[in-house]
Amino acid sequence: MSTNKTVVIALGGNALLDPNTNGSVAEQIRTVERSCARVAQIIARGYHVVITHGNGPQVGNLLIQQEEAKKLVPPLPLDICGAMTQGQLGYLIQQKLREALARLGIAKPVVTVVTQVRVDRDDPAFGEPTKPIGPFYAERERPLLEQKGYVLKRVGKGAKPWRRVVASPQPKEIVEIESIKALIAAGAIVIACGGGGVPVVREDGRWRGVEAVIDKDLASALLAEELGAEILLILTDVDRVALFFGTPQQVFLDRLSVSEARKYLLEGHFPPGSMGPKIEAAIRFVEGGGERAYITSLEKAGEALEGLAGTEICRGEDPSPTAQT
């Protein structure tokens, strides 16, 4: 089967490291292997695939390593840790996707681009950091950390209730976009914008990494738009999006127009930090010229592209007939 469509596939946390496992390297590799087998099937159907991914657990572990080893080696800042996870996960995806493609008789290069994403220094998000990252801290560790400029938030109880929070600014520009396009044009399957991309600002002609985390779904939407992709496929751990999620009134949705999506988002059906940014990403992508976006699980990804599973977000300006009754 052949299609000429480009699909940007955003791999969520559990497509890379299954939370039901012990989190070992062997489990990490097994999970990536499973995800790559699914992605390979999509490529085999003729889609031009570009991959983005989250990095939450991986960057969390790296930050713990920085903290625990700081007496031995200088700790690395968040932007460098983010870049490291792009290499780490990109490497594993390159290896496992190549193997999965080879099993299907497809020889295609798979390549990772360490991606910087420009954010605005005056993004209001810097004034109210919300994204918890890295290790948990005890009360007595607080003064020193706050002296370092960390913003801490009480997120739990017990001996270590504090956690660092950083800003989650809007992605404005993908610095390496032209290189990504060139690689795609040369026939490569590109992995880019891992972890939402490394957030950078431009100041007096220089680029500088900042201590922030860009939402990976919003970065994926920007990438998909810049590439002129037809489809944005956001893979997470639910098969479909629901209204009244997790309550007795829960209803799963097969299809949502952009205006319905925005309405339900405003009504609070999709919380920030989980489903909210996915819906926002889908809206931005479709409004920016994309054909449609899907939110589904890795298992249902193939069926979703056929219109047989998942939640589709599409333009559909027509008011629904039921709205008039």
**So which residues are the catalytic ones?**
13-14, 131, 216, 278
271 binds, among Mg ion, ligand ADP, none (CB under 5 to 8 A by kind): ligand ADP
Residue 171 or 201: which CB sits closer to ligand ADP?
A: 171
Residue 174 or 275: which CB sits closer to ligand ADP?
A: 275
Residue 87 or 273: which CB sits closer to ligand ADP?
A: 273
Kindly determine how many residues on this chain lie close enough to bind ligand ADP according to the rule CB under 6 A: 14
Q: Which range in 10-18, 85-93, 208-216, 244-252 contacts Mg ion by CB under 5 A?
A: 10-18
Residue 13 or 288: which CB sits closer to Mg ion?
A: 13
Q: Lay out the site mask for ligand ADP across 25-64 (x = CB under 6 A, - = otherwise).
A: -----------------------------x----------
Interface with ligand ADP in residues 279-308 (CB under 6 A): none
269 binds, among Mg ion, ligand ADP, none (CB under 5 to 8 A by kind): ligand ADP
Q: Which range in 8-16, 58-66, 198-206, 298-306 contacts Mg ion by CB under 5 A?
A: 8-16
Q: Work out whether 269 is an interface residue with ligand ADP (CB under 6 A).
A: yes
Do 139 and 171 contact (CB within 8 A), yes or no?
Answer: no
For the record, the structure tokens of 168 come out as 């989650």
The least distance separating ligand ADP from the CB of residue 234, rounded to whole angstroms, comes to 7
Q: Which residues are registered as beta bridge partners of 154?
A: 162
Helix/strand/coil (H/E/C) assignment for every residue in the chain: CCCCCEEEEEECHHHHCCCCCCCCHHHHHHHHHHHHHHHHHHHHCCCEEEEEECCHHHHHHHHHHHHHCCCCCCCCCHHHHHHHHHHHHHHHHHHHHHHHHHHCCCCCCEEECCCEEECCCCCHHHHCCCEEEEEEECHHHHHHHHHCCCEEEECCCCCCCEEEEEECCCCCEECCHHHHHHHHHCCCEEECCHHHCEEEEEECCEEEECCECCCHHHHHHHHHHHHCCCEEEEEECCCCEEECCCCCCCEEECEEEHHHHHHHHHCCCCCCCCHHHHHHHHHHHHHCCCCEEEEEECCCHHHHHCCCCCEEEECCCCCCHHHHC
Instruction: Give the C-alpha separation, 137 to 162, whole Å.
Output: 5
Residue 93 or 275: which CB sits closer to ligand ADP?
A: 275
Q: Lay out the site mask for ligand ADP across 92-111 (x = CB under 6 A, - = otherwise).
A: --------------------
The least distance separating ligand ADP from the CB of residue 266, rounded to whole angstroms, comes to 13
Kindly determine how many residues on this chain lie close enough to bind Mg ion according to the rule CB under 5 A: 1
Q: Work out whether 242 is an interface residue with ligand ADP (CB under 6 A).
A: yes
Residues that bind ligand ADP (CB under 6 A): 12-13, 54, 236-238, 241-242, 245, 269-271, 274-275
